[in-house]
């Protein structure tokens, strides 16, 4: 059963964008794992944060899709402010950790 009329509209594109974000976070986590030999346990904190965010995005995908599809059907789509702000804060923490690691050396 379709929730909205056009199956190629925004909810599907948004889900694909969040999937790409999840993959990017997982790749950044894997890259940071290589730093554990040099920086020790301190490099694990950003790994846990990025991996946690990726897992959170993955498990909340269906809810976001249904919310956007229902909003599209009723012409009342609201922005995902919490998701965007939390991802922005996570990436700022990741960038800050990278800067700290570079200057620790």
Note the pLDDT of residue 94: 84
pTM exceeds 0.75, yes or no: no
How many beta carbons lie within 10 A of that of residue 29, not counting itself? 20
pLDDT digit string, tens, across residues 9-53 = 667 777 888 889 999 999 988 988 888 888 888 888 888 988 998
Contact 49, 94 (CB under 8 A): yes
Query: Given a cut of 70, is residue 97 above it in pLDDT?
Result: yes
Residue 74 domain-assigned (yes or no):
yes
SS3 content of the chain, % helix, strand, coil (to 5): 80, 0, 20
Residue 28 lies in a domain: yes
Answer whether residue 30 is part of any domain.
yes
Q: How confident is the model at residue 105 (pLDDT cuts 50, 70, 90)?
A: low
Domain of 22 in residue numbering reads as 10-104
How does DSSP assign 55-100, residue by residue?
HHHHHTHHHHHHHHHHHHHTT-PPP-HHHHHHHHHHHHHHHHHHHH
What pLDDT, on a 0 to 100 scale, did the predictor assign at position 74? 77
Residue 3 lies in a domain: no
């Amino acid at each position: 059963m379709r929730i909205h009329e056009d199956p190629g509209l925004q909810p599907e594109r948004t889900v694909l964008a969040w999937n790409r974000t999840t993959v990017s976070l997982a790749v950044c986590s894997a890259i940071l794992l290589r730093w554990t030999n040099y920086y020790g346990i301190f490099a694990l904190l950003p790994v846990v944060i990025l991996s946690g965010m990726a897992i959170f995005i993955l498990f909340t995908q269906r809810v976001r899709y249904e919310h956007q599809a229902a909003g599209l059907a009723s012409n009342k789509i609201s922005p995902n402010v919490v998701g965007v702000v939390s991802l922005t804060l996570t990436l700022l923490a990741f960038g800050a950790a990278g800067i700290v690691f570079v200057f620790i050396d």
